[in-house]
Chains A and B, each alone.
Chain A
Amino acid sequence: DTAVSQTPKYLVTQMGNDKSIKCEQNLGHDTMYWYKQDSKKFLKIMFSYNNKELIINETVPNRFSPKSPDKAHLNLHINSLELGDSAVYFCASSHWGNTEAFFGQGTRLTVV
């Protein structure tokens, strides 16, 4: 049983397209996150949701829109993809309050 699962694992798409990455957790956590890992392997938070409510939005372009239909899901939709969006995107979840975070396997997005 995968605790935090992301789909797809790989995504290759052309500039200008719109794409979505899905994330689901079965750990009963109330907080979910999206992180971006750049080509130098540096991780940075993009968004966090607690009980479906947006808590953190770290100066991410408006083209990125997270959606949390329920506490177990946090999807990431990206409009008008740009070359600079190429990265690995990680979903994670935890209980609220700075507790241990569990990460998905990552989605490698390549924009060509």
Chain B
Amino acid sequence: KNEVEQSPQNLTAQEGEFITINCSYSVGISALHWLQQHPGGGIVSLFMLSSGKKKHGRLIATINIQEKHSSLHITASHPRDSAVYICAVYTGTASKLTFGTGTRLQVTL
């Protein structure tokens, strides 16, 4: 079993819908990354957080350290949000990231 689990694995939504992607982890962490990867593209950091909530435009990330859970929300989704969203956690002190399996999001018109 992977130390970082994401759900759902695949998600299809219509434009305008509110989207939630979940990440659960089984290890102690110091911080959590949400990353975005477009098809054939590079990886972009969306958020890094270790507590509470962060917002950037239509994206919101929350984390509950006690429950070992984080969520990424996208409000008013748009086809350009179609991408793979990856949760990654820092464990230990060696700046090592452990990745989830990713959530493939497809937003249709």
Residues of A that sit less than 8 Å from B by CB = 31, 33, 35, 40-45, 48, 50, 55-56, 90, 92, 94, 96-106
Give how many A-B residue pairs fall within 8 Å (CB-CB).
64
Task: Say whether, besides A42-B99, A98-B31, A105 and B41 are in contact (CB < 8 Å).
Answer: yes
Task: Say whether, besides A41-B84, A41-B102, A48-B94, A106 and B48 are in contact (CB < 8 Å).
Answer: no
Residues of B that sit less than 8 Å from A by CB = 30-31, 33, 35, 37, 41-45, 48, 84, 86, 88, 90, 93-99, 101-102
Please tell me if the beta carbons of B43 and A45 are within 8 angstroms of each other in the complex. no
Partner of B102, one of A42, A55, A92: A42
A47 to B18, CA, bound (A): 37
Residues of B near A105 (CB, < 8 A) are 41-42
A105 to B41, CA, bound (A): 6
Further contacts, 17 of them, CB under 8 A, given A33-B97, A41-B37, A100-B48:
A42-B101, A43-B43, A43-B88, A45-B96, A48-B96, A50-B95, A56-B95, A56-B96, A90-B42, A98-B30, A98-B31, A98-B90, A101-B45, A103-B35, A103-B43, A104-B42, A106-B41
Q: Which residue of chain A has its CB nearest to the CB of B2?
A: A42
Q: Which residue of chain A has its CB nearest to the CB of B89?
A: A98
Q: Which residue of chain A has its CB nearest to the CB of B102?
A: A41
Please tell me if the beta carbons of B45 and A55 are within 8 angstroms of each other in the complex. no
Please tell me if the beta carbons of A101 and B42 are within 8 angstroms of each other in the complex. no
A98 to B99, CA, bound (A): 14
Please tell me if the beta carbons of A98 and B45 are within 8 angstroms of each other in the complex. no
Residues of B near A50 (CB, < 8 A) are 95
A43 to B36, CA, bound (A): 13
Task: Say whether, besides A41-B84, A42-B101, A43-B88, A102 and B45 are in contact (CB < 8 Å).
Answer: yes
Please tell me if the beta carbons of A106 and B95 are within 8 angstroms of each other in the complex. no
Please tell me if the beta carbons of B45 and A106 are within 8 angstroms of each other in the complex. no
